[in-house]
A and B are shown apart, each in its own frame.
Chain A
Amino acid sequence: MTVLDHRHLAPVPGWLPGATGPRSDPAPLLPDAAPVRVLGTPALDKADPLLLRELYRRLVVGRRYNQQATTLTKQGRLAVYPASTGQEACQVAAALALREDDWLFPSYRDTLAVVSRGVDPLAALTLLRGNAHTGYDPRAARTAPLCTPLATQAPHAVGLAHAARLRGSDTVALALLGDGGTSEGDFHEALNFAAVLHAPVVFLVQNNGYAISVPLTQQSAAPSLAHKAVGYGMPGRLVDGNDAVAMHSVLSEAIEYARNGGGPTLIEALTYRIEAHTNADDATRYREAAEVTAWREHDPILLMDRHLRAAGILDDELVQDAADEAEALAARMRAEFHAEPVLDPHALFAHVYAEPTPQLREQASQLAAELAAESEVHER
């Protein structure tokens, strides 16, 4: 199968051979002026009630996960936690819109998406607890490691999607990014490669208003982040990031579009980071309390609760079940994280290369001797 064809372009009328001017009409690629919404619109009637109930359940469990992880940082049980509180609709919808053999490429604020994808909730936190960089097998979970250097995972998603297509699979890759990440060069390069290679990849930018302390107005002068898609030759979509149903719908459309050979899509989800950047941040230094309060009124769970109850889809039993599941997860997290992790210093040298170099073998022996001497001192 040949994926790459050298598409010969029509010459620009009246111009020299080889001149390649405007090549397509940008209008179909433009995002709608208003973000896509489903909750509170007639479109909700067409949604699958089972999907709606599943989204609700995951939102509630996800919120509790965020809260418990934040609490664990205050107790010193997690080194750091960049909470996605307020962004759960993006996180949960991203996981739910993917097929099992699709791939997720998360950033450091996307632990909840990783968990919602099926990775063990505690294994997903080893990076932030500090006991292991990645606590899960990315191949088994089809979920790349949580990525800290901003937007650097985006080209990986492109390459994986491209390789999948070359190998005859219809796997799609979804890269999760933030508004700050769109300023990085890797964001640009990833989108350009994706469009040129026509790779089955979807980029979801969770625009939560701030890159740590810097607001979007100081990050970009673009009409919207979704508009950036047009410059690369892919469609841009703007969606209410706190409307879980809209998120699921727009993501599913983009993923199926990619799966069916349509190429990449850039989605901008308008959402808000309710918590500070991490537990180490003080958000009162750069934003007003009134702003946070306003967004709390547009909370993803609140919206689901209101609209699903009105539609007769949400009942007390589901609310209770979701709350119970959330509490059980929180209890498991507390129990697990109050036990000291088992660490093996010898493992430091295990996975630097396929085979340790002679130099690493020497250093491993040195560490082993230090550890032996230490334990001798302890025994005395």
Chain B
Amino acid sequence: MSTAVQTRTSTMAQALNSALKDAMRADPTVHVMGEDVGALGGVFRITDGLTAEFGADRCLDTPLAEAGILGTAIGMAMYGLRPVVEMQFDAFAYPAMEQLVSHVAKMRNRTAGAMPLPITIRIPYGGGIGGVEHHSDSSEAYYTQTPGLHVVTPATVADAYGLLRASIASDDPVIFLEPKRLYWGKAEWDPTAPVEPIGRAALRRTGRSAVLITYGPSLPVCLEAAEAAKAEGWDLAVLDLRTLVPFDDETVCEVVRSVGRAVVVHESTGFGGVGAEIAARVTERCFHHLAAPVLRVAGFDIPYPPPMLEHHHLPGVDRILDAVSRLQWEE
């Protein structure tokens, strides 16, 4: 038996495609469905080749109606299938909100555990790709506000594969948010590595001055900011949450306690957002370890701007470093 590590280099989009294929090969109850997922392979090609390998029943091109797609998936899950639903874009998932909130999230609870719904809902999300109106929303807070859903968002190629496999294997419904601006980034990864469980954050960079807590599309921005911060004399840690629900309080608090300063970074609007929750949780649990208030760097509280203005809206290196500079270093 070969012990060589079987790494491969691919884009996040290809890794997601591999995860779908491997999940469908491993489990005949896994069914992919959505708009344009068949012959086209999805508008981002994440479902490329699935219909050819598994047939139109296993990779279903549905009519164009998101509530109908998710509602149909619910019925399929009730009969023992494991649907993986593709919502074409973040903002196109909103018509399915009632099915999601009133049924997907609640079915296990309202049937006292008799009827769990193992549905994975893949949603390309976030901006930074020059998308016109309704193609760049960061919609995670709508989902994290809904008990009964897991909310997962990978930021690396390896996690895209591992977390999607874990999400499809989960007996709970999972909102799987794919940072679309990271779709085409390549990395070397090991498809044979053990699948990571949902719910654990990963420290992407160690540091002693402060920690940037982030997820999804903002991870590369934070890593870039941490690199730039060296010139200012700051040694920044970067923590990738990977899963927003369930939230990894343990790892977050461990890192915050060790460095004493934290900035939360995400693209979505700040007010009432995931960053507000993190700042509150960290303050509640780590108050005496903090040398400064937890700061947030988020998108502005505005509707997503036209693409030619989006770089002013999205958190960038300068805005992150500005927040780091305000962490009361002088006191």
Contact = CB atoms under 8 A, between A and B. Distances in A.
Contact of B147 (A173, A188, A196, A352): A352
A192 B64 CA distance: 10
A185 B107 CA distance: 21
B151 to A, nearest CB: 11
A163 B75 contact: yes
A137 interface: yes
A166 B171 CA distance: 21
Contacts of A353: 108, 148, 150, 172, 246
Interface in B107-139: 107-116
Contact of A149 (B60, B75, B98, B147): B98
A136 to B, nearest CB: 8
A350 interface: yes
A144 B98 CA distance: 17
B109 A156 contact: no
B290 interface: no
Given A152-B98, A157-B75, A167 B80 contact: yes
A339 interface: no
Contact of A193 (B56, B63, B113): B63
Interface in A150-176: 152, 154-164, 166-167, 173
Contact of B56 (A6, A156, A188): A6
Given A134-B112, A139-B114, A185-B67, A166 B81 contact: yes
A159 B71 contact: yes
B79 interface: yes
B74 interface: yes
Contacts of A157: 75
B143 to A, nearest CB: 14
Contact of B55 (A2, A350, A351): A2
A155 B68 CA distance: 6
A134 B111 CA distance: 5
A156 B78 CA distance: 8
B291 to A, nearest CB: 26
Contacts of B77: 159
A359 interface: yes
Interface string B161-199: 000000000111000000000000000000000000001
B235 interface: no
A132 B171 contact: no
A19 interface: no
- In this complex, the interface size class of chain B, counting residues with CB under 8 Å from chain A, is 35 or more
B289 interface: no
B224 interface: no
A138 B114 contact: yes
A156 B247 contact: no
A190 interface: yes
A154 B71 contact: yes
B111 A138 contact: yes
A354 interface: yes
Interface string A54-80: 000000000000000000000000000
A4 B65 contact: no
Interface in B216-267: 245-247, 249-250
A152 B112 contact: no
A357 interface: yes
B111 A190 contact: no
Given A2-B56, A4-B57, A159 B75 contact: yes
B111 A145 contact: yes
Contacts of A4: 56-57, 60
B109 A133 contact: yes
B112 A160 contact: no
B57 A166 contact: yes
B10 interface: no
Interface in A273-307: none
Contacts of A1: 57
A186 interface: yes
A231 to B, nearest CB: 13
A158 B172 contact: no
Q: Which residue among A149, A167, A352 has the maximum number of chain B CB atoms within 10 Å of its CB?
A: A352
A4 B63 CA distance: 13
B206 interface: no
Interface of B: 31, 55-57, 60, 62-63, 65, 67-68, 70-81, 95, 98-99, 102-103, 106-116, 147-148, 150, 170-172, 199, 245-247, 249-250
Given A139-B114, A350-B112, 6 more contacts: A155-B68, A155-B74, A162-B72, A163-B81, A185-B95, A353-B108
Closest 5 CB pairs of A and B: A159-B75, A155-B71, A189-B68, A357-B246, A163-B79
Interface of A: 1-6, 132-134, 137-140, 144-145, 149, 152, 154-164, 166-167, 173, 185-186, 188-190, 192-193, 196-197, 347, 350-354, 357-359
26 contacts: A2-B55, A5-B56, A134-B110, A134-B114, A137-B111, A138-B111, A138-B114, A152-B71, A152-B99, A155-B67, A155-B70, A156-B75, A158-B71, A166-B57, A166-B81, A188-B65, A192-B63, A193-B72, A347-B112, A353-B150, A354-B116, A354-B171, A357-B245, A358-B247, A358-B249, A359-B249
